[in-house]
A and B are shown apart, each in its own frame.
Chain A
């Protein structure tokens, strides 16, 4: 098991190098001079030249990339933000708790609503409950989050005045963004649970369980659910990883100061170190979440545990 984890962590290295290289290349070819964006349009040509020299922006592309990787690997330094002058890592770590909270809330909502809905839909296939759930799941899946977010604000903040429309410092303020962000995940979790449940309850061992006179609740809750959950766990993991990489639209609409908004601002102001650091951070988080999901997988699926040994 440890060997497996170690191997997976080793595999992170080429992934991160690849990501860093892609971001670096893309930023390099994006129009807009970071020196101009950072120093403001009043800056003199000498100041711009000095900045470019100091930040190594005049070096050839590969030299710049090499320096970046060297500093990151050897000194653990991914630079200082051009605009706030603070270390990039510090900036990300200030923003990340917001994103983490937002994603965690959204995921909890998705699981609490999605899994039960999926199970009931599967057991009572083609019932009115199933039809309605599937219609809602379809709507939730296709509704763009910025639209849903605005509707939620209009209804709960403007019309009813129950909840604040922006910010993220109080529990009340967290409700709307979390719900908006959760909508898509709820739908996906519901649909996945339903289809995976449907597959399992037709399996032979379920028939055996029923034949031996097992109570229906145990047949569904223990025999069927445990097996049906495996793909759902994968899905949740992937979803969570995705949410963590910054729910850019949700964060912008609800003014949540998370990683997504940090990244958008950094891109707009050509804050190269910030963008690079941010993307790398997202890549790391995503990979770690995936690794955790795979480990969880082993825990709930004995077949995989056996393979790992």
Chain B
């Protein structure tokens, strides 16, 4: 017993010594969730995109303002509407020492079309094939004209993998990734953290610290506590309730940016009475969305006025007037549509997100003012999605975020006829035509005009009521310099350093 006790005490000592941290050469970040895989085409979620962005590079990079800059491709040329010629950077090394060539680019992009890439099918569906001109030049051929495709190359799916390594690893690739990015894979303790190390042969600016550790901490309060105690250097995302605590702490600072993500209340257009645009507009007029947003998000984000978020190109959000509640006008519209609001009974569906339930509760109260009875139904995500797919719902609260900076992605996924996530059941030939036209035009005034008209048209169609544009908020320790929160939520740590 005595011996056991001695060993026990000794091991505690050894362990606590091992815990003592050394000089600051490690950046510790708290993220909400663990990546699902480290295969860049095996997912379509933010924590995984963030993890992949450290290991891999894409052909083109995305600036914080939504413009593009050269990545693994030094320059590019549009040969025609469906052929983009990409000149690859020379001397780029993979983490295993191999040089990146056209062969790898062709393999990476075409692999996305295989069943392994089903998550990101929506981005690569118009890709036909990649032609190798010489080891440093490729031509990307599309099946049909699709300009948003080019911007989508900045998404995780456009990451360049090493053909040799992926083919050798087969189905297990996601656990031992090799890329050309500024950090190379070291270890991944699933569900707890992953650790990457600086890649010293990186072609661009090398990272200024040696080790990057990203811990997954799902509880928002825990992320803040870890930030406060100095156990992590950057915590993301920060929720509304945590804001004040970080603001008041002199050692911490907040970084906030409005992001292209929209929370909305959608109508089921395939069901009466919501198939009548007058009813949809009347309900919209009953809601004081500006103050609902303010009450629930307390100063974070804003109430959108257009489906294309303010930060996305061609958005006319800031030119449109704010939404105004007008009960009398609503009553008139109900009368025109021949509907007695006091006899209307509807269900408002939402998943379990607290902010959405809060908004639904206020919506319920405001609808009740004219006698509309509504019931809020909260469902777990999987069950919720399957109800939405069956189109048996009335109205529902949902969000939509853009990972690719093109207005097409803001609209097509939600409103194009038969799109997988078109839960309003909108089927409007004119809108479909506008979307197709928008995709077929290169950036410029003509394209801007199409999206301007489209936004006005959608507001007139009123398939949904806009509730909230979210913000990306990160809590950062003040000794961390060079970090800037990314409005597309794929935060980069390439330029981060510590102030002594």
For B222, list chain A residues within 8 Å (CB): 153, 165-166, 253-255
Q: Specify which of B171, B191, B421 is in contact with A257 (CB 8 Å cutoff).
A: B191
Which residues of A are found within 8 Å of B219, using beta-carbon distances?
166, 252-253, 255
Query: Does any Cβ of B come within 8 Å of A39's Cβ?
Result: yes
C-alpha spacing A167/B34, complex, angstroms: 13
Cβ–Cβ contact A167 & B229, under 8 A: no
B216: Cβ under 8 A from any A Cβ: yes
Q: Taking the complex as formed, is B380 at the interface, i.e. its CB lies under 8 A from any CB of chain A?
A: yes
From B118, B122, B174, B413, contact of A86 by CB (8 A): B174
Q: How far is the CA of A45 from the CA of B389 in the complex (A)?
A: 11
A252 to B217, CA, bound (A): 9
The answer to whether A172 touches B229 (Cβ under 8 A) is no
Contact check: which of A31, A54, A80, A95 meets B191 at CB < 8 Å?
A: A95
A50-B115, A164-B231 as given contacts; A84 in contact with B380, CB under 8 Å = no
Q: Verify if A168 is at the interface (C-beta below 8 Å from B).
A: yes
B215 close to A268 (CB less than 8 A): no
Any chain A CB within 8 A of the CB of B6? no
Which of B39, B44, B192, B387 interacts with A169 by CB under 8 Å? Answer: B192
Q: Give the residues in chain B near A233, CB-CB below 8 Å.
A: none
Q: Does B12 touch A at the CB level, under 8 Å?
A: yes
Tell me whether A161 and B229 are in contact in the complex, defined as CB-CB below 8 angstroms, given that A42-B121, A166-B222, A170-B19 are known contacts. Answer: yes
A37 interface residue (CB < 8 Å to B): yes
Q: Within the complex, what minimum Cβ distance (angstroms) separates B33 from chain A?
A: 9
- Bound Cα distance A259, B357 (Å): 30
Interface residues of A in 256-289 (CB under 8 A from B): 256-258, 261-262, 265, 268-270
Q: Which residues of A contact B421 (CB under 8 A)?
A: 41-42
Task: Report Cα–Cα, A251/B24, bound state, in Å.
Answer: 29
- A43/B42 contact (C-beta < 8 A), A172-B19, A257-B190 known: no
Which residue, of B18, B175, B228, B385, has the highest number of chain A Cβ atoms within 10 A?
A: B385
Q: Does A113 contact B (CB under 8 A)?
A: no
B218 within 8 A of A: yes
Q: Mark A2-37, 1 if CB is under 8 A from B, else 0.
A: 000000000000000000000000000011110011
| Contact A95-B190, Cβ < 8 Å, known A83-B36, A166-B226 | yes
Q: Are B174 and A84 in contact (CB under 8 A)?
A: yes
Q: How far is the CA of A172 from the CA of B231 in the complex (A)?
A: 12
Q: Which of B171, B218, B382 contacts A31 (CB 8 A)?
A: B382
Chain B, residues 202-220, CB within 8 Å of chain A (1/0): the string is 0000000000000111110
Q: Flag if B380 contacts A268 (CB, 8 Å).
A: yes
**How far, in angstroms, from A136 to B189 measured CA to CA in the complex?**
37
Residues from chain B with a CB closer than 8 A to the CB of A214 are none
User: Given A37-B385, A255-B219, A268-B381, is A43 in contact with B191 using a C-beta cutoff of 8 Å?
Assistant: no
Contact A32:B192 (CB < 8 A) given known A41-B421, A86-B175, A164-B231:
no
| Known A33-B386, A153-B222, A161-B229: A167·B192 in contact at CB below 8 Å | yes
Number of interface residues of B (CB under 8 A): 52
**Residue among A42, A44, A171, A268 facing the most chain B CB atoms (10 A cut-off):** A42
- On chain B, the residues within 8 Å of A33 by CB distance are 382, 385-386, 389
Confirm or deny: B193 has a beta carbon within 8 angstroms of a beta carbon on chain A: yes
- Looking at the assembled complex, report how far the CB atom of A79 sits from the nearest CB atom of chain B, in whole angstroms: 12
Evaluate contact between A47 and B115: CB separation under 8 angstroms: yes
Interface centre among B34, B42, B118 (most CB of A within 10 A): B118
Identify which of A30, A42, A268 contacts B119 (C-beta below 8 A).
A42
Write out, one digit per residue, whether chain B residues 355-395 have a CB within 8 A of any chain A CB (1) or not (0): 00000000000000000000000001111011101000000
With contact pairs A84-B36, A85-B42, A257-B189 given, residues A47 and B175 touching in the complex (Cβ less than 8 Å) = no
Q: Which residue of A lies closest to B190 (CB)?
A: A94
B416 to chain A, nearest CB (A): 12
Which of B16, B175, B189 sits near A172, CB closer than 8 Å?
Answer: B16
Q: Find residues 7-63 in chain B having any chain A CB closer than 8 Å to their own CB.
A: 12, 15-16, 18-19, 34, 36-37, 39, 42-45
Interchain nearest-CB distance for A35 vs B (Å): 9
Contact A43 B383 (CB under 8 A): no
Known A86-B172, A165-B225, A166-B222; judge A171-B36 contact (CB<8 A): no
Task: Please name all residues of chain B whose beta carbon is closer than 8 Å to the beta carbon of A98 when the two chains form the complex.
Answer: 192
Given contacts A47-B118, A95-B191, contact A32 B225 (CB under 8 A): no
Most buried by A among B18, B43, B191, B229: B191
A158→B231 CA distance, assembly (Å):
12
A37 to B381, CA, bound (A): 9
CA distance A164 to B229 in the complex (A): 8
Tell me, yes or no, whether A51 is within 8 Å of chain B by CB.
Answer: yes
The reply on A40 being an interface residue by CB < 8 A is yes
- Say whether A31 contacts B420, CB under 8 Å: no
Please, which residues of chain A bring their CB within 8 A of the CB of B34? Answer: 257
Name which residue of chain A comes closest to B216, CB basis: A255
State in angstroms the CA–CA spacing of A94 and B421 once bound together: 35
Please tell me if the beta carbons of B420 and A44 are within 8 angstroms of each other in the complex.
Answer: yes
Contact, CB under 8 Å: B119 / A39: yes
Partner of A36, one of B39, B229, B389: B389
Chain B residues contacting A86 (CB-CB under 8 Å) are 172, 174-175
> Is A157 among interface residues, defined by CB-CB distance under 8 A?
yes
CA of A158 to CA of B120, assembled, Å: 41
Q: Is the CB of B174 within 8 A of A41?
A: no
Asked if residues B217 and A45 are in contact (CB atoms below 8 Å), the reply is no
Interface 0/1 of A137-176, CB less than 8 Å to B: 0000000000000000100011001001111111110000
Q: Enumerate the 10 nearest inter-chain pairs by beta-carbon distance, A residue then B residue, closest first.
A: A257-B191, A32-B382, A171-B15, A31-B383, A257-B192, A47-B118, A42-B122, A165-B225, A166-B222, A170-B19
A-B contact pairs, 30 of them (CB 8 A): A30-B383, A32-B380, A32-B382, A32-B383, A36-B385, A39-B118, A39-B119, A40-B45, A40-B119, A42-B420, A44-B125, A54-B115, A85-B39, A85-B172, A86-B175, A153-B221, A158-B225, A165-B222, A165-B225, A166-B217, A167-B192, A168-B192, A170-B15, A252-B218, A252-B219, A255-B216, A255-B217, A255-B222, A257-B190, A268-B382
Q: Using a CB–CB distance below 8 Å, which chain B residues touch chain A? A: 12, 15-16, 18-19, 34, 36-37, 39, 42-45, 115, 118-122, 125, 171-172, 174-175, 189-193, 215-219, 221-222, 225-226, 228-229, 231, 380-383, 385-387, 389, 413, 420-421
Give me 12 other A-B pairs in contact (C-beta within 8 A), A37-B381, A257-B192 excluded.
A32-B382, A37-B385, A42-B120, A43-B119, A51-B115, A85-B39, A94-B190, A157-B225, A164-B229, A166-B225, A168-B192, A257-B34
